Chain A
Amino acid sequence: MGHESSVPLFWRLIKPRYQLIGTKCTSCGNVFYPPKFLCPVCRKEGKLEEIKLRKTGKILTFSIIRSAPAGFEKETPYPVAIIELDDGPKLTSQIVDYKEEDLKIGRRVEACFRRIYTDGKEGIINYGLKFRPA
């Protein structure tokens, strides 16, 4: 077997992962990322529509990964942060192109397009967004 991860799963996530597309509930105004199919606040009364989120935000908290999961061993040590987007939602992402002084709570960051995970030598390359100091 030349590859292990699910190709359809990756494919389904391409749009939100590449373009930072979330959903917004038109009745309560809440914005969600990753996109939701049902508004958890308004339930069936809510109506969700796609929204292209701004690719900027700030670091809420971060951690340096020294003992990485499979597929990320060669990248250690690397920072992973919870980022609060300017449009509201929070997400977890690797921080790249940083200097030590950039790793602080509140630091402004912007999304950039990178390889996230490569499925062995024969599998597909998972692309998506990471964040760098803005």
Chain B
Amino acid sequence: MIGIVGYGGYIPRFRIKVEEIASVWNADAKAIKSGLNIEEKSVPSMDEDTATIAVEAALNALKMAEIDPKEIGAIYVGSESHPYAVKPTATIVGEAIGCGAEFTAADTEFACKAGTAGIQMVMGLIEGGYIKFGLAIGSDTAQSKPGDALEYTASAGGAAFILGKNNVIGEIEGTFSFSSDTPDFWRRDGIEYPSHGGRFTGIPAYFKHVVSATQGLMKKLGLKSSDFDHVVFHMPNGKFPINAAKMLGFDLEKLKAGFVVSKIGNTYSASSLLGLAAILDVAKPGQRILITSYGSGAGSDAFSIKVTDLVEEKRKKTKKIQDYIDDKEYVTYAHYTRLRRGI
């Protein structure tokens, strides 16, 4: 069965606290913190972007997979902050991790679910017998308009997954997607910052798609909420995934292992995948994991993953997500502005 041969994450070291951002805009930090259920977010360094983050995550995944990178037949990098408008991030990753040249590559774009879309593409190529191993990455340095509500959450991070059929640490039991034309969040070509529909991003957008994709997956696989030991949903803030879990009848304890948002913010294409990586860092063999991504515009990809006995040995080979979360340095808003806008 197709599964995860290796995974790796990367989170930049800098953090900014909600209080620091709120003080600049004379906003009520306490209300924002409780409203968004978030404490701080990651901030990329001046010389970090989606490509550098994707490379670091991919190298970590490769360490765990212990395969010859030249055996990777496909690389997909999902992001909404690719460094080039025209020129793929995926070839930069391929060159940096030593994949040779005999691989197919593309960048995917679907707001925050471009990374999980890449996983599905790789699954298809492996199942069809076209490739032996494939690499799917979600990586972002998310943009937010100064003063906008998004500024408290839009952060940076990446997660990479190498899929294959042998020596897997988690078997992918199935996937199910739910998509519709729902304009809840967008950025027009050539415009610096995204726009969003405020409260419209909730019920008709995030919740409809996350709930429908998850229900569809469970129906397809004949599973119920109690069959899962760990659950991760896309984390645009610290409130939405908790509400989605309640709507779907999951015990909130099951969210805990993958709930990285309150310490690093919304890493966009990496959000649910970093949550999955954090779960795999602690999951026990035999446990079942649900991951449902969400991308504005809008769609969700849900996956059911069964953890194998190999997880305990293989995950020792690379840095844990919690290590990245704990390794941090706080910046002021002035420093943040310098890092993000290069003043």
> Could you list which residues of chain A lie within 8 angstroms of chain B, going by C-beta atoms?
14-15, 18-19, 52, 74-75, 96-97, 99, 112-116, 125, 127, 130
> For A115, what are the chain B residues with a Cβ–Cβ distance below 8 Å?
46-49, 52
User: Is B92 interfacial (CB-CB < 8 Å)?
Assistant: yes
> For B98, what are the chain A residues with a Cβ–Cβ distance below 8 Å?
19, 52
A115 → B minimal CB distance (Å): 4
> For B56, what are the chain A residues with a Cβ–Cβ distance below 8 Å?
112-113
**Alpha-carbon distance between A75 and B84 when the two chains are bound, in angstroms:** 21
Picked from B46, B96, B329, the residue with its CB within 8 Å of the CB of A74 is: B46
Q: Given the known A-B contacts A15-B95, A112-B56, are A127 and B13 also in contact in the complex, defined by CB atoms under 8 Å?
A: no
**Alpha-carbon distance between A78 and B2 when the two chains are bound, in angstroms:** 46
Question: Are the C-beta atoms of A125 and B83 separated by less than 8 Å?
Answer: yes
Against A, the Cβ 8 Å flags (1 = close, 0 = not) of B89-103 are 000100110100000
23 CB contacts below 8 A, A to B, read A14-B95, A15-B95, A18-B95, A19-B95, A19-B96, A74-B46, A74-B343, A75-B47, A96-B45, A96-B47, A97-B13, A99-B329, A112-B52, A113-B55, A113-B56, A113-B59, A114-B48, A115-B46, A125-B51, A125-B84, A127-B52, A127-B92, A127-B96
User: Is B342 interfacial (CB-CB < 8 Å)?
Assistant: yes
- Interface size on B (CB < 8 Å)? 21
Output the residue of A113, A116, A127 with the most chain B CB within 10 A: A113
> For A15, what are the chain B residues with a Cβ–Cβ distance below 8 Å?
95
Against A, the Cβ 8 Å flags (1 = close, 0 = not) of B261-283 are 00000000000000000000000
Picked from A52, A99, A114, the residue with its CB within 8 Å of the CB of B47 is: A114
**Alpha-carbon distance between A74 and B342 when the two chains are bound, in angstroms:** 7
B52 → A minimal CB distance (Å): 5
A40 → B minimal CB distance (Å): 27
- Chain B residues 19 to 60 lying within 8 A of chain A, measured CB to CB, are 45-49, 51-52, 55-56, 59
Complex: chain B residue closest to A73, CB-CB: B342
Q: Given the known A-B contacts A52-B98, A112-B56, A114-B52, are A130 and B47 also in contact in the complex, defined by CB atoms under 8 Å?
A: yes
> For A116, what are the chain B residues with a Cβ–Cβ distance below 8 Å?
47
Complex: chain B residue closest to A94, CB-CB: B47
List the 9 closest A-B pairs by CB distance, nearest first. Answer: A113-B55, A114-B47, A115-B47, A18-B96, A113-B52, A74-B342, A18-B95, A114-B52, A97-B13
Question: Are the C-beta atoms of A127 and B45 separated by less than 8 Å?
Answer: no
Q: A113-B55, A127-B92, A127-B96 given. 10 additional CB < 8 A pairs?
A: A14-B95, A19-B95, A74-B46, A97-B45, A112-B52, A114-B45, A114-B47, A114-B52, A115-B48, A125-B83
Question: Are the C-beta atoms of A75 and B46 separated by less than 8 Å?
Answer: yes
B48 → A minimal CB distance (Å): 6
A13 → B minimal CB distance (Å): 11
**Alpha-carbon distance between A125 and B96 when the two chains are bound, in angstroms:** 14
Complex: chain A residue closest to B48, CB-CB: A114
**Alpha-carbon distance between A115 and B96 when the two chains are bound, in angstroms:** 12
A55 → B minimal CB distance (Å): 9
Against A, the Cβ 8 Å flags (1 = close, 0 = not) of B305-322 are 000000000000000000
